[in-house]
Amino acid sequence: MQHTAGDLADMLKGLVEGDSQVIVNQLSKIELASSGSLTFLSNPDYERYLYTTGASVAIVPTTFTATQPLPAALTLIRVTDSYAAFAQLLEFASAAMALPRTVHPAAVISESAQIHQNVYIGALAVIEDGATIGEECEIHAHATVGRNVRIGTNSKLHSGVQVLDNCIIGSGCTIQAGAIIGSDGFGFAPQAGDGYKKIPQTGNVILHDNCEVGAATTIDRATLGSTIIEEGVKLDNQIQVAHNCTIGAHTVIAAQTGIAGSTTIGSRCMIGGQVGFAGHLKIADGVKIAAQSGVTTSIKEPDSVWQGTPATPIKDYQKRQIALRNLSRHRLMDRLEELEKIQQNTRTSS
């Protein structure tokens, strides 16, 4: 990218303070920026770097007031929301680096697959029988699209992704490297003696529009019916979603969370990292669950906040933690001191 501060201000609906003709050609972190870089300030903890940055242009909030002299070569662009403005520029820069719409000669594509216009398919990608790839999709190297899979428009499968038979991916979805959509659910029936018999997993996964699935995340196909990820869900890396789960629209889940089978998580939930869910639970809309919690029962109260193992309303959890700290610091220690004195008195008297 190469743009003047004035051009960028017009794009962001911001106000230039300094040289509107200064040219930038890269985006940089504020503490590492050099001449020709564009950076931004949104977190007050990073303000100190603004006074020493080598960047040519910085995006700042309209309310920002400098408390020290700024570098003489620095031009500011003032906007209402500097973080959102910088995110907009990142999207712009990412679009400029879009892959060419070509099919690599080393891709393996079934004759019965339907590939729409303006797609990118990388080397050694595999598109199996009956699959449908929508317009403007990107299927990167070594990705696999199974039999009868349907992928909507403008979706991206990064390197090593596997979308297995009969699964459905909506439009505008991004699946990061190594994720697996539609692997078998963990279904085994105990047999007489010590053995287990595998239960065939005949369902699929449906990923609705504008979802993102992180690297190495796995979403299991349903035993019957569908595992459903609704519109706008964002899943971090290394998450396990078991068979027949449903995750409601615009829910976000952080890394290493595990969700056991047939659990339903509502819309607009926020789930911290390493949270574990037992199976067959129902979680209401808007629920927030703190990292490393263990959810063992259904949560029926919308917009509530939970923490701990087993997870409880966060105020109850905090009260218990305070009580434990007080117990260890005061009452328990006092009691031990009393017992030691009793022992000493007993020894002395005997």
Distance (Å, whole) CA 152 – CA 119: 12
- The tokens for 276 are 């574990």
Look at the chain and count its residues. 350
Tell me the CA distances in angstroms from 288 to 35, 114, 261, 311, one per residue in order: 42, 41, 20, 11
Selection from 57, 69, 81, 60 nearest residue 6 by Cα: 57
Q: How many CA atoms lie within 13 A of 190 on its CB side?
A: 3
Which entry of 243, 250, 280, 330 is annotated as an active-site residue?
Answer: 243
- The tokens for 324 are 């434990």
Q: At what angle do helices 5-12 and 82-96 cross, to 10 degrees?
A: 110
Distance (Å, whole) CA 136 – CA 130: 19
Do residues 312 and 294 lie in contact, with contact meaning Cβ atoms separated by under 8 Å?
no
Tell me the CA distances in angstroms from 230 to 43, 122, 179, 224, 252, one per residue in order: 32, 28, 17, 18, 11
Distance (Å, whole) CA 164 – CA 292: 30
Do residues 177 and 215 lie in contact, with contact meaning Cβ atoms separated by under 8 Å?
yes
Let me know if 243 is a catalytic residue. Answer: yes
Residues 6+ positions from 109 with CB-CB distance below 8 Å: 103, 115, 121, 126, 127
Which residue in this structure is represented by tokens 């615009």? Answer: 250
Do residues 222 and 201 lie in contact, with contact meaning Cβ atoms separated by under 8 Å?
yes
Catalytic residues: 243
